[in-house]
Amino acid sequence: MYDTIIIGGGPAGYLAAERLGHEKKKVLLIEEQNLGGTCLNRGCVPTKTLLNSAKQYVHAKEAEKFGVMVQGLSYDWAVIQNWKTEVVTKLRTGIEGQMKRFGVEVINGRGEIICPPSGDPSGDKPARVLSVSGNGTAEHEGKTILICTGSVPALPPIPGTKDNPLVVDSTALLAIGTVPQRLAVIGGGVIGVEFAGLFSSLGSEVTVIEMMDEIVPFMDKEQAPLLRRAMKDVTFKLGCKVEKIEGAAVHYTTKDGKAEKQDADLVLMAVGRRPVLDTWGAKAAGIDTTPKGVAVDDRMRTNIPGIWAAGDVTGKSLLAHSAYRMGEVAVADILGGKSNRMRYNAIPWAVYGITEAAGVGITEQEAAAKGVAIIKASLPMKVSGRFVAENTFAGHGAVKVIADAANRRILGIHAVGAYSPEFIWGGAALIEQEFRIDEVKQLIFPHPTVSELIRDAVWGLE
Ligand SMILES: Cc1cc2nc3c(=O)[nH]c(=O)nc-3n(C[C@H](O)[C@H](O)[C@H](O)COP(=O)(O)OP(=O)(O)OC[C@H]3O[C@@H](n4cnc5c(N)ncnc54)[C@H](O)[C@@H]3O)c2cc1C
Question: How would DSSP label each residue in 372-431?
Answer: --EEEEEEEGGG-HHHHHH-SSTTS-EEEEEEETTT-BEEEEEEESTTHHHHHHHHHHHH
Q: What is the mean pLDDT of the chain?
A: 96
Peptide bond into 448 cis (omega under 30): yes
Confidence bin at 339 (pLDDT 50/70/90)? confident
What positions carry a catalytic annotation? 447
More confident site: 199 or 394 = 199
pLDDT of 103 higher than 90: yes
Confidence bin at 212 (pLDDT 50/70/90)? very high
Given this model, what pLDDT does residue 119 score? 64
Closest protein CA for atom 53 of ligand 1: 43
Given this model, what pLDDT does residue 395 score? 60
Closest protein CA for atom 47 of ligand 1: 33
Pocket of ligand 1 (CB under 6 A): 7-13, 30-33, 37-39, 43-44, 47, 110-112, 148-151, 170, 191, 276, 279-280, 311-313, 318-321, 323
- On whether the CB atoms of residues 151 and 38 are closer than 8 A, the answer is yes
> What 8-state DSSP symbol labels residue 63?
G
Q: What's the rounded mean pLDDT across residues 34-61?
A: 97
CA of 279 to the centre of ligand 1 (A): 15
Alpha helices (H) in 231-362, listed in sequence order: 282-285, 320-334
Given this model, what pLDDT does residue 123 score? 60
pLDDT of 394 higher than 60: no
Closest protein CA for atom 17 of ligand 1: 39
Q: What is the pLDDT of residues 160-193, one digit of tens each?
A: 999 999 999 999 999 999 999 999 999 999 999 9
